[in-house]
């Protein structure tokens, strides 16, 4: 396991050390693993001062926030209905929702693009977040978690006169916090790494997300590997911070929701 871990971490360490090197250090032979100056942050400064990488970060965070907020609200409402309400055709409808898992996202790109083009949402934040406004994963994950909550909690709240929305927000939502953390991490990961859809919708450089901006930047600065490595490290940093901060909820949520 230790050897396998080293093989996985080695490329990341190489990128990290290369982001601290000068251009001549990266091209030096024999290969120099460690930088001469571990405090050299000039490559990171160039990304945000001379290039437009800061705007790419802002765009990605806004798009991810819109997608997470919208899909989380929809997932909470839908999963609560599927878990605690008995209505005709409930199981069949849930199967239809899960069937959307089998539709590849690439198959929906053209109709979704035509929709946002008709709505005038091309090159806007809402257009960039359009495919993420609803996610089947959130409905499935939260519903599975809510199935483990005793129905007596809901019955007691109803007997006390609480509305369905109040039961969801005051009783159920605090109990599914680990599942929400899992969903937020997964949703942020998918949104942050999305490439094809932002490439189509973001027609101006000022609307590029990190993934599109990174590819565009690498194409324009193909010989400046120090800047490309620094940009790669910065693109991974938000996901690492989010995972570390929510790690305990992630482990608990995966264990209790039954995800394999």
Per-residue pLDDT of the chain (260 residues; tens, 9 = 90+): 888 888 888 888 888 888 888 877 877 777 777 888 888 888 888 888 877 888 999 999 999 999 999 999 999 999 999 988 888 888 888 888 888 878 888 888 899 999 999 998 989 999 999 988 888 888 988 998 888 888 888 889 888 888 889 999 999 998 888 888 888 888 998 899 888 899 999 888 889 998 888 887 776 556 678 888 888 888 888 888 888 887 776 666 555 554 44
DSSP 8-class letter at 245: H
Q: In order of start, what are the domains of the chain with their CATH numbers? A: 2-24+40-257 (1.10.3720.10)
- Comparing CA positions, the residue from 253, 231, 251, 198 lying closest to residue 19 is 231
d(CA 203, CA 58): 16
Read off the pTM.
Answer: 0.84
Say if CB 56 and CB 209 are below 8 A apart. yes
Residue 117 CA to chain centroid, in angstroms? 24
Please state, in angstroms and rounded to a whole number, the distance separating the CA atoms of residues 109 and 104. 10
Tell me how crowded residue 10 is: count the other CB atoms within 10 A of its CB. 10
- Name the residue with tokens 């050897």: 3
CB 15 within 8 A of CB 232: yes
Handedness of CA 167, 170, 173, 176 (dihedral sign): negative
Give CA–CA dist 66/129, Å, rounded.
6
Q: What is the pLDDT of residue 260?
A: 44
């Amino acid at each position: 396991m230790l050897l396998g871990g080293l093989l996985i971490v080695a490329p990341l360490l190489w990128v990290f050390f290369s982001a601290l090197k000068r251009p001549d250090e990266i091209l030096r032979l024999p290969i120099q693993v460690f930088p001469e100056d571990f405090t050299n942050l000039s490559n990171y400064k160039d990304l945000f001062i001379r290039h437009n990488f800061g705007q790419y970060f802002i765009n990605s965070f806004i798009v991810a926030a819109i997608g997470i907020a919208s899909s989380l609200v929809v997932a909470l409402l839908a999963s609560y209905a599927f878990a605690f309400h008995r209505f005709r055709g409930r199981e069949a409808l849930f199967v239809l929702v899960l069937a959307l898992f089998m539709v590849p996202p690439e198959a929906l790109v053209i109709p979704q693009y035509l929709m946002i083009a008709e709505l005038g949402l091309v090159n806007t934040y809402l257009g960039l977040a359009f495919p993420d406004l609803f996610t089947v994963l959130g409905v499935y994950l939260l519903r599975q978690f809510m199935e483990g909550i005793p129905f007596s909690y809901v019955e007691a709240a109803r007997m006390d006169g609480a509305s369905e929305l109040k039961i969801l927000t005051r009783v159920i939502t605090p109990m599914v916090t680990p599942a929400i953390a899992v969903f937020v991490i997964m949703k942020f990961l998918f949104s942050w790494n999305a490439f094809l859809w932002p490439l189509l919708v973001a027609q101006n450089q000022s609307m590029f997300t990190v993934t599109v901006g990174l590819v565009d930047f690498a194409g324009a600065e193909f010989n400046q590997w120090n800047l490309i490595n620094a940009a790669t490290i910065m693109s991974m940093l938000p996901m690492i911070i989010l995972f570390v901060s929510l790690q305990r909820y992630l482990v608990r949520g995966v264990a209790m929701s039954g995800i394999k």
